[in-house]
Structure 1
Amino acid sequence: MDFQLKTLSTAQAATEKCDALIVLAAAGNSPSKDPIATLVAEARKAGDLGDKAGKLLALYRPARVAAARVLLASAGDGEPASVRAAVLAAIAAAKAADPKRVAIVFAEPTDAVGLRSAMIAAADASYVYTATKSKPEPRSIRQLSFGVADAAALREAFDEAAATVAGIELAKEWANRPGNHCTPTMLAEAAQELAALPHLKCEVLGPKEVHKLGMGAFAAVAQGSAEPLRFIVLRYQGAPKEEAPVVLVGKGITFDTGGVSLKPAAEMDEMKFDMCGAASVLGVFRALGDIRPALNVVGLIPTCENMNDGRAIKPGDVITSMSGQTIEILNTDAEGRLILCDALSYAKRFEPAVVVDIATLTGACVVALGGVRSGLFASDDALADALLAAGEESQDRCWRMPLDDDYAEGLKTNFADVANVAGRAGGAVTAAKFLQRFAGDFPWAHLDIAGTAWKSGAAKGATGRPVGLLLSYLLARARKDAAEPAPRKARKPSKVR
């Protein structure tokens, strides 16, 4: 997407040459008397433009305005969520005329968060998937200009938002691809391509290296598939080497049949989205390469398929994880936590400041929170608060869930150190309690994105969440570290050959 940032008042926007002009008007009266401000005022007075965010009024060749098509879009109270609703509605309406150049102007002054919200919403509304279509139709909108009161003051926010969009769209691209176009090997190749960006490195481990590391849980999930597993290690170094990194761990099941505990046939095609956690990590690193913040980040992606053949793990099997803990497999469809537990053990070698894992982990989280907020579990209150704040700022919200030790009771078994599932009750929590056993040595958070990573039905497709949340968290952390530097020495990670 070609984004542009301009200093445009509503008076200046009246002369802007574009195929469609979208005016974001928050509730209230503007003192301006230019053609566009007058249109907004008259539309409100006549009751043709309501105050509710997302309400639209379409105009064709209004007097004294250069653009042939003008969309007045109510931005409600002007808050980021209202701005997002207005932009989503306006872009959806504008696309009917197949515009190539669209300008979006804020009728009232906006801040960095408002601009970011508008840019991400515009990109979401105009995104088109093309990778596996024989005659792909490119997105009709080729250029999006954003008019604000002072472009220079918002340039940094604009650049960060453009990079965030690039990250979100990379996450969408890989999550939307079907399983035969997104194998673990292909996902690893996508990660290796990111190493061309500044300050980024990528290392990919195969079955032999994973076996040598003792990742028995990860290897067990992969053993029923003809596709070889890959363990992807991404490193972004924007701060001195001795500064402890943030480690992001993304679940990368490129297709999930459920294994021997086979899923129902209905909607099983959507199990290509079971690698959305991995896709979000790729998206974050894509954005980091553009933004280049002053912090260190490590991305770990265990990726494989969960398939059935004569070698596949069976209910009742006992496996040994990298941590040495033994796990009884009661349900082979609870495989995500098995690949993540070994990745969490691997994360310890980086002596991380914090670790955040991201996974489409449980249907129970979908039942609990639907598709609005991701489930957040955290062992550290400060980390939880920071992620919650980042979710609010980015409009990529999460909700903190409990981690009481009582929830772990159902994971007890007579035949191993721990079972991989408990009962149906509190399934999202017991899954998090399982992961917590392997993340006891550092501040840790788990994001269950099973309800937010993709949409079903007519709007079927990946959302790119929680790339926005994670980037907001990382950038806030970088700003805080710049203001209050408190480096923590990290041991140099060992490499496996």
Structure 2
Amino acid sequence: MDFSIKPVAAKTGFTTIKTGCIAVAVFENKALSAAAKALDTKGEILAALKSGDLTGKPGSTLLLRNLAGSSADRVLLVGLGKQDAVSEKDFLAALQATARAFATLGTSDAVVAFPFDIVAKRDTSWAIGSFILAARDGAYRSDTMKSKKEPASSGVKKVAFAVDAKEAGISKSAIAQAVATANGIDLTKELGNLPANVCTPTYLANTAKKLAREFKMTAEILDRKQIQALKMGSFLSVTNGSVEPPKFIVLKHSGGKAKEAPIVLVGKGITFDSGGISIKPGAAMDEMKYDMGGAAAVLGTMRAIAEMKLPLNVIMVIPSCENMPSGSATKPGDIVTSMSGQTIEVLNTDAEGRLVLCDALTYVERFKPAVVIDAATLTGACITALGHHNSGLFTRNDDAHDALAEELLTAGKIAGDTAWRMPIEDRYQEQLKSNFADMANIGGPAGGSVTAACFLERYTRKYLWAHLDIAGTAWRSGAAKGSTGRPVPLLTTFLIGRARTAKAK
């Protein structure tokens, strides 16, 4: 789907727009938006509202053909709710309804002529970006492995946004950023939805190398011998039961100044998690192919920012392997030594994500990072705490980390990919005590997502760090099973904000 800007110099300009369909907004109190008023020269739109053919409720739609005051073949009326109180939720419902309607129209081009600045604290760029993400989400098909592909939508292929001529430049930038973000989300979904016999650690490594070639980034893939040479005993302990070779994947986007400290993104890359010797129940175990959701998300984010050519130095790191049971698998009670030299008593082999991440978090010290953010489908406890709406955000409690947390939370709100801050306190660290090693890899069922974050925190004390537990947000179960593409919008928005701040200095 292609997106463009159609500058409109005055309200009357709506009547001269020639297109297969123009979408305009109406409200619950039978009021019309500026574009709808301009097109309603014969009172047909108002008559449709008064007759009850359209309620004006958020997301309600009515298609009119050959409207007397319009040069468009069709006019799509879309409800925005109450005129003086259009919420973000109402506006998004209208955008999604518009995207769905466009998908089934018998025309290839359309124009969206909404009041893009009607939502409090939101602007035209946000509205345009939100429509693009909604349209691309609706267009995504997870049919890569099907012998017969799902039929492509025969509806609208080109969408233009009618904006004031003064906003044309910033609106074009919004399109470019939204399309790049959508491309990153699509990559993340695709990686997550592929089966574990296809999307192996080697497949993730090859994806990173492909991105490096396409966008002029630098990729480095470490194999088992190199991982062993780095003494990543914790990471390697997770691979013991699998025949799939582990990969430690590094991808660098060098868009900033040469000596500028990089932002580092770390993604958990367990391409299948059986639980190891502490094997999981069989029900829904197929969904453990999504345990590389963090890896998929940071790869998608790197693709997005590379397409945007963000003027930042960003490094992505993925420790990737399978967690399988076998005669050579790590056993409960085994003690392993991490790259940092700290020893870990493995009480549960199904708490493996933290075992691969801790060595990655030690490895990234060499980059002297400005900030490190890890994303991981880490704990079922986070789903119990927050459900499937918010990702769990964990940082230390000091001024610098409080500022980082607020920055990430704000980025999530802007992107509609929200997170909720959870605690990290010394009192929780007590639960990780071991009689035989420096720490245990679990702290019991109480506060499971917190103790998991506390485990990671022990390896991050040399830099600014935040952890995103995306176990509840990276994929959906049930009839709509599939990867969501989160938290690509949050991370991408965060990095766009960082780039703007760097440019302003």
TM-score calculated relative to the size of structure 2 = 0.90
Counterpart check, 1:390 vs 2:411: yes
The amino acid of 1:130's aligned partner reads D
Query: Are 2:131 and 1:131 equivalent residues in the alignment?
Result: no
Structure 1 distance, partners of 2:113, 2:439, is 56
Name which of structure 1's ranges 352-361 and 454-463 shifts more when overlaid on structure 2. Answer: 454-463
Write out aligned runs for 1:80-99 (5 A). Answer: 80-97=88-105
Q: Distance in 1 between matches of 2:379 and 2:192?
A: 17
Q: Residue 78 of structure 2 is aligned with which of 65, 73, 85?
A: 73
1:124 to partner: Cα distance = 1.0
Deviations along 1:145-181, one digit per CA (max 9) or x if unpaired, are: 1313133331112111111111111111111111112
Contact kept in structure 1, 2:116 and 2:128, CA below 8 Å: no
Distance between the aligned counterparts of 1:466 and 1:280, measured in 2?
6
Cα deviation for residue 288 of structure 1 reads: 1.4
Cα shift at 1:6: 2.3
Amino acid paired to 2:169: A
SS in 1 for 2:197: helix
Matches within 5 A, 1:93-492: 93-97=101-105, 100-107=108-115, 109=117, 111-140=124-153, 141=155, 143-150=157-164, 151-379=168-396, 380-484=401-505
Q: Does 1:30 align with 2:43?
A: no
For residues 475 and 450 of structure 1, what CA distance do their matches in structure 2 show?
24
Matched residues in 1 for 2:464 and 2:175: separation? 32
Tell me the SS of whatever aligns to 2:462.
coil
Which secondary structure does the structure 1 equivalent of 2:264 belong to? Answer: strand
Change (3 A) 1:69 1:357: same
- Cα deviations across residues 325-353 of structure 1 (Å, max 9, x unaligned)? 11111111111111111110011110001
- Contact 2:195/2:289 (8 A) holds in 1: yes
What secondary structure does 2:450 align onto?
A: helix
8 Å CA contact 1:128, 1:138 repeated in 2: no
State how far apart, in whole Å, the 2-side matches of 1:367 and 1:226 are.
33
Q: TM-score, normalised by structure 1?
A: 0.91
TM-superposed CA distance for 1:442, in Å, is: 0.9
- Confirm or deny: 8 A CA contact 1:83 1:117 kept in the other structure: no
Aligned pairs, number: 484
Q: Aligned AA for 1:454?
A: W
Aligned to 1:493: none
SS in 2 for 1:180: coil
Secondary structure of 2:252 counterpart: strand
The reply on whether 1:54 has 2:53 as its aligned counterpart is no
Q: Equivalent residue of 1:34, what SS?
A: helix
Moved more, 148-157 or 181-190: 148-157
Uncovered stretches (5+) of structure 2, i.e. residues with no partner = 118-122
Change (3 A) 1:81 1:243: farther
* Identity of matched residues, %: 49
Task: Tell me the SS of whatever aligns to 2:135.
Answer: helix
- Quick one: structure 1 residues 99 and 462, their matched pair in 2 at CA, closer, same or farther if it must change by over 3 Å? farther
8 Å CA contact 2:25, 2:32 repeated in 1: no
Per the TM alignment, residue 57 of structure 1 is displaced from its structure 2 partner at its CA by: 2.9
Which residue does the alignment assign to 1:6?
6
Cα distance, 1:374 vs structure 2 = 0.8
Cα offsets for 1:417-468 (capped at 9, x unmatched): 1111111111111111111011111111001111111111121111111111
One-letter amino acid of the structure 1 residue matched with residue 98 of structure 2: A
Q: Contact 1:4 / 1:143 at 8 angstroms: preserved in 2?
A: no
Distance 1:39 1:314, change over 3 A: farther
Matched to 1:22, the amino acid is: A
Letter in 1 for 2:415: S
Bigger mean CA offset, 129-138 vs 250-259: 129-138
